Structure 1
Amino acid sequence: MDRHALHQPSSSSSSIPATANTVWTDASPLLEVACKDLRDGELIHVDNFNLYAAMSALEIMDPKMDSGIVNRYCSVDEAIEDGVAPVPISTDKTTDVQCMIDIMDHLLTCEATWHKGHSLAQTVFSCAYLLRPERTSSHALLHSYCKVIRATCKAVITVVSDARTHEEEDLFTMAYGLPLSGDGDEKCLSLLNAVEENISRQLRACKAPSSKRKPLEDIEPLQTNFDLEEGYCKALLCRLRFRKHFFHVLTCMRRPQGRGLELARKHIASCISELGVILKSAEFLMSNAHGTCEDATEDRTTASGHQAIGFDASLNSRISAPTPPRSIKILSWKKAIEYFEKLLHDLDIICSYPLDPSLEVLLRFVAQFQKAQPDLVARAHLQLLLVQDGKLYGKCPMFSLIIRAARLPEVFLHHDIQKNEYVVQLGQLVINMLKILCTNAAWQRRKLGKILQDWRVIYVQIELAFRKDFGEGSSISNGDNASARILKHILIWVDEQTYWISHRFLILGFELELYSPSEYCMVYWYLYVVLIRLAEKTHLKMTVSDGSAKQKGKKRKDSPKELARDAKIPPAISFLQCQICLAEGLTVLLAALRNELMVLQSPSPFNSEHEVKYVLMYMVVNIIIHLNNKEMFQNIIEFQMIKRGNNGYSLHK
């Protein structure tokens, strides 16, 4: 507590400043007496105290709370006047090129740090050259590079904003009035190509034999040291080409209906190749670095190890955010290279996807893709590819996706039932599910737990509509009513999809390490139950679909080949059967370890595990199972007996 606040005899004396002759009184005894009179939860405060003021208060002189304490400059113009971002960077051409490469490298590390969720103002736009675009017009190389950086940032922000995945990192898309769009930025590639061509000519000139060098003497060299000309030309070219190809990747992947994916893959390959050249240039740049290098070699933000010119993280502190700025650490140069390599690899996986209209294949692809833990930018591109204008890939309506997923004939793709209110709502649920599956694991699990109720509600609504329109005794085998058949198939598929979501919800708990060892037995038991129900619904969907297809054909005596084919376990069911056996085995194993050897137990001084975990998780499972225990296990037994006598196989031992 401030000592000035301890002694306040009157409201008038509180405004009198303390002097050297001020007599201070120890208020500790007074505070101790007041504390004895306080009950639990009470505190000493003045009359104007409130919670809002307490939460909004800033801790003065703390750099994390008081953004002005570490400010070197009050404005960008003041920093420029102080020589933070000179143009030209240096009068010596060799030093100018070295500094330009350092700026390129540091911007790359700032961009990777921004992609990781930090503020754009404190990372990429900590560069004074980007904040005043008009100042760089006399420096062609710096001017063109700054333009493509701004255009790239704008493209990334647009992708993440359109995908609405920025809720994970609220600071990502906030530009705070930063100059993302400069005059002529739409021509950034043409300017970059002109600079690249000029440096390419300089490289060819320095590599030419002495006999052919005379005709090339009119080409001005990049810098004054001829022995270093080739190395600096190559270092600049690989960085310029990476920027060019990366911008092409972003633009090609935004083309509607996936039309630019093949071209994007070519640019991705070029980006990865240029990153390799950039890494190789580090040895040359470090050996010829100017000035003093950074102390920590591993944490350096440039290939040369030298600190880049023109950067100050406090330049945008006044406009950085509506909240106190974070204390961030820029990624190292090597980690930035590794980040972009992973990002390009993830984007290449997205571009290589064949745009299969099957929802089952799509869900398997997304689940596998998420195992690599892709970052925000890659996941945003995936979501925009999957959902465009309310359609899958921008060309496949949700109703046709549902029809295929429910294993209905394509003759129903244009049926009028797609205008049904509940079918339209189901299509929106599918869109929401696809968007959720493109978020990070933590956000995904949270949202999946919430939409389980929505899927159960839509199931009940469609079921009630089916009974109202077609009665209780409607049979799938009655092919006279196409609407009844479609709704019946959709009901089975919705039930199956609900169990798939619940299975995904439980599995994500393992990936996020949310379960303690003492909870594994319970979680595997839930997985065992959900997998059995999922296998049951999947098998029912296949059986109904195959039965409907057979009814269309002529009745004839089954041949031995057809009988053998019917007896074969479908791959999807076989895979689920393996998962069921694993879940059951792990449940029994963990239960035995717990009961016999008294391991994997963690007694709590508070509520028991049954109260905290079992009751809560049973509520979630109850949403998807909607059966009591007796009915559930009866269904499990019946499921084990399905086709045992007819097809010669059992789904579970």
Structure 2
Amino acid sequence: MKRPQGRGLESARKHIASCLTELESILQSADFLRSCFDESCEGDIDDKTTASGFEPIGFDAMLNSRLSAPTPPRAIKILSWKKAVEYFVKLLHDLDVICSYSLDPHLESLLRFVVQFQKSQPDLVARSHLQILNHVNIVEQLLLVQDGKLYGRDPFFAVINKAAALPEATKNHDIQKNESFLQLGMVIANFLNSDGVGNSSLPNKLVMNLLKILCTNAAWQRRKLGKFLQDWRVIYVQLELAFRNEYGEVSSSSNDENTCMKIFQHILLWVEEQTYWIAFRFLILGFELELYSTGEYCMVYWYLYAVLIKLTEKTHLMMAVSHDTAKRKGKKKKDSPKDLARESRIPPAVLFLQCYICLAEGLTMMLAALRNEIPVFHSPSPFNTEHEKFVQHFELLQRACIPDHVSYPSYKESTTHARFSTLAMYNYFKDAQRIAKEVKSSFSNDPERLAELRKLEQVAEHNSVAQNVICRLGALDPSLKVSFEFSHHPFFATVVVKRS
């Protein structure tokens, strides 16, 4: 797996398949080994450290505990024989998933793969094969980033070039040496403490660090992403200042400078889109780590809604820019009516995010109405005020101004007047359900997105029914009990309405 440019992945998969076969044979041998002993084994076989169920001869399983350092005290749990085999089976399956990846140079595909891979909760050994582990005096180069290149093959300049939909002219080496690019390289290099040469004229190191963070466990990932947002925001501000200083408000007539101006514009938009994607990832990891209480769901979904609005906007702009670049590359002389109609449609990826927006807004308004009209939902904490909780959860986002003009007063203003009567006027969940149904056909070749849309549709359907029940009964029925479950989706709650 550590061979450069992914050349050893196919060979690794053969070894993995062989190991899985051996482990299967080992599991099948358990019955035979137990039958070799006349005496029956006492206790549950699942808790034993050998296949036969008897104590090992000449080896003490607690040896690791005795050899461990006495301080600080650490609990060491010895795995049973069965669980140890299951651990290696899962580890090998995780490694096989890594080896089966197609090494797609598109950054969006890579980020989606890493996020999807993390959902299986892989072990540290498997995760370490997706990142660069930096320790004191040790740099271990692994699959994703080798020799400062993606897969050891694609320069990060080329990866960002594709992700930001940059014009083909950027591949020209002379343009990369343009004075404005050199100045930009110095700005980013000073910020990142890099050397400011070569491809550091674009935020390569930020992308490398993002990949590294996404390969960590959920808790560490969220902790680092919150701080990492500051870096992306500062880079955006630095890029914007460099762009304005170089070109001002009026574009130059020089072809080289016009090209560089387009590059700056594409990069600015791309950095902003990635920043909001990181913010979105930061917020949903809070659900996975169970950092939010039920009383805080309203503010979390409200903030998630605000981030999704900006992410959708930037994604739509990026797709429009990509389409425009591809269209210029195709050099069409005249667009047909079919092409014009196709261009006017909202892209499926944008509709996918729009479905998220409808669910987030629907949950925000429902939770706000419940809080405003049913006293049991508005029980202030004896320790922290609502404002303090808002600051605790979103302080890192607020520091980075993500999104702009979003604050606790704006949250209160948006939710204070929510009532059951206003909920009855508009059902956001029906919109989410409609969008999910309509966009399914566009992702027929993408099983991951298709599965996600099915989950979103289920949440929207259940919540739409629950909202109708709540609006019909409302505060008039004191026996009404409303709870929230994550039975259909990991971060969009399903509303459950019961009578006590």
TM-score, normalisation: structure 1: 0.54
Aligned to 1:573: 350
The correspondence of residues 428-439 of structure 1 with structure 2, limited to 5 A, is 428-439=205-216
Task: Work out whether 1:532 is the aligned partner of 2:309.
Answer: yes
User: Which of 221, 229, 232 pairs up with 1:455?
Assistant: 232
The correspondence of residues 406-421 of structure 1 with structure 2, limited to 5 A, is 406-415=164-173, 416-417=176-177, 420-421=185-186
User: How far did 1:443 drift?
Assistant: 0.4
The correspondence of residues 465-544 of structure 1 with structure 2, limited to 5 A, is 465-474=242-251, 481-544=258-321
Task: Work out whether 1:297 is the aligned partner of 2:74.
Answer: no
Q: Which of the two has higher C-alpha Rg?
A: 1
Output the CA distance in 2 between the equivalents of 1:344 and 1:305.
25
Output the CA distance in 1 between the equivalents of 2:301 and 2:245.
39
User: How far did 1:400 drift?
Assistant: 0.9
User: How far did 1:351 drift?
Assistant: 0.8
1:372 is paired with a residue of what secondary structure? coil
User: Which of 134, 151, 154 pairs up with 1:396?
Assistant: 154
Q: Which is bigger in relative contact order (C-alpha 8 A, separation at least 6)?
A: 1
Q: 1:523 to 1:629 in 2, by over 3 A?
A: closer
Structure 1 residue identity aligned to 2:205: Q
CA contact (8 A) 1:286 1:304 kept: yes
Q: 1:551 to 1:314 in 2, by over 3 A?
A: closer
Output the CA distance in 2 between the equivalents of 1:602 and 1:271.
56
Structure 1 residue identity aligned to 2:161: I
CA contact (8 A) 2:230 2:400 kept: yes
User: How far did 1:407 drift?
Assistant: 0.9
2:130 is paired with a residue of what secondary structure? helix
Aligned to 1:372: 120
Output the CA distance in 1 between the equivalents of 2:6 and 2:331.
42
Q: 1:324 to 1:592 in 2, by over 3 A?
A: closer
Output the CA distance in 2 between the equivalents of 1:365 and 1:476.
42
Structure 2 residue identity aligned to 1:400: A
The correspondence of residues 322-333 of structure 1 with structure 2, limited to 5 A, is 323-324=71-72, 326-333=74-81
Aligned to 1:609: 386
Structure 2 residue identity aligned to 1:508: L
CA contact (8 A) 2:286 2:292 kept: yes
CA contact (8 A) 1:452 1:498 kept: yes
List per-residue Cα deviations over 1:405-459 (Å, max 9, x = no partner): 1011344235425762325461111101100000000000000001000000111
User: Which of 264, 270, 278 pairs up with 2:18?
Assistant: 270
User: How far did 1:556 drift?
Assistant: 4.8
Q: 1:570 to 1:283 in 2, by over 3 A?
A: same
Structure 2 residue identity aligned to 1:341: V
Aligned to 1:595: 372
Q: 1:283 to 1:480 in 2, by over 3 A?
A: same
Output the CA distance in 2 between the equivalents of 1:619 and 1:306.
54
CA contact (8 A) 2:308 2:357 kept: yes
User: How far did 1:548 drift?
Assistant: 4.5
**Gap regions ≥5 residues in structure 1:** 1-252, 634-653
Say what the alpha-carbon RMSD is for the aligned residues.
2.8
Aligned to 1:202: none
CA contact (8 A) 1:399 1:413 kept: no
Output the CA distance in 2 between the equivalents of 1:330 and 1:569.
55
Q: 1:330 to 1:555 in 2, by over 3 A?
A: closer
Aligned to 1:386: 144
User: Which of 219, 244, 263 pairs up with 1:442?
Assistant: 219
List per-residue Cα deviations over 1:144-163 (Å, max 9, x = no partner): xxxxxxxxxxxxxxxxxxxx
List per-residue Cα deviations over 1:501-550 (Å, max 9, x = no partner): 00000010111111101111111111111011001111112223333454
**Gap regions ≥5 residues in structure 2:** 132-141, 189-199, 412-500
List per-residue Cα deviations over 1:342-397 (Å, max 9, x = no partner): 11111111111100000001111111111111110110012221111211101111
Output the CA distance in 1 between the equivalents of 2:361 and 2:385.
24
List per-residue Cα deviations over 1:52-102 (Å, max 9, x = no partner): xxxxxxxxxxxxxxxxxxxxxxxxxxxxxxxxxxxxxxxxxxxxxxxxxxx
Output the CA distance in 2 between the equivalents of 1:581 and 1:478.
44
User: Which of 58, 77, 91 pairs up with 1:310?
Assistant: 58
Range with bigger deviation, 384-393 or 478-487: 478-487
2:129 is paired with a residue of what secondary structure? helix
List per-residue Cα deviations over 1:272-318 (Å, max 9, x = no partner): 22211111110110111388856442210110111113334676778
Q: 1:515 to 1:406 in 2, by over 3 A?
A: same
Output the CA distance in 2 between the equivalents of 1:477 and 1:498.
31
Output the CA distance in 1 between the equivalents of 2:394 and 2:226.
11
The correspondence of residues 30-429 of structure 1 with structure 2, limited to 5 A, is 253-289=1-37, 293=41, 295-312=43-60, 320-321=68-69, 323-324=71-72, 326-383=74-131, 384-415=142-173, 416-417=176-177, 420-421=185-186, 422=188, 423-424=200-201, 426-429=203-206
Q: 1:425 to 1:313 in 2, by over 3 A?
A: farther
Q: 1:478 to 1:603 in 2, by over 3 A?
A: farther
Output the CA distance in 2 between the equivalents of 1:349 and 1:555.
41
1:508 is paired with a residue of what secondary structure? helix
Output the CA distance in 2 between the equivalents of 1:369 and 1:512.
17
Structure 1 residue identity aligned to 2:234: V
Aligned to 2:437: none
User: How far did 1:482 drift?
Assistant: 2.1
Range with bigger deviation, 291-300 or 596-605: 291-300
Matched pairs, number:
380
Q: 1:619 to 1:463 in 2, by over 3 A?
A: same
CA contact (8 A) 1:294 1:307 kept: no
2:324 is paired with a residue of what secondary structure? helix
Q: 1:365 to 1:523 in 2, by over 3 A?
A: same
CA contact (8 A) 1:404 1:410 kept: no
Structure 2 residue identity aligned to 1:457: V
1:428 is paired with a residue of what secondary structure? helix
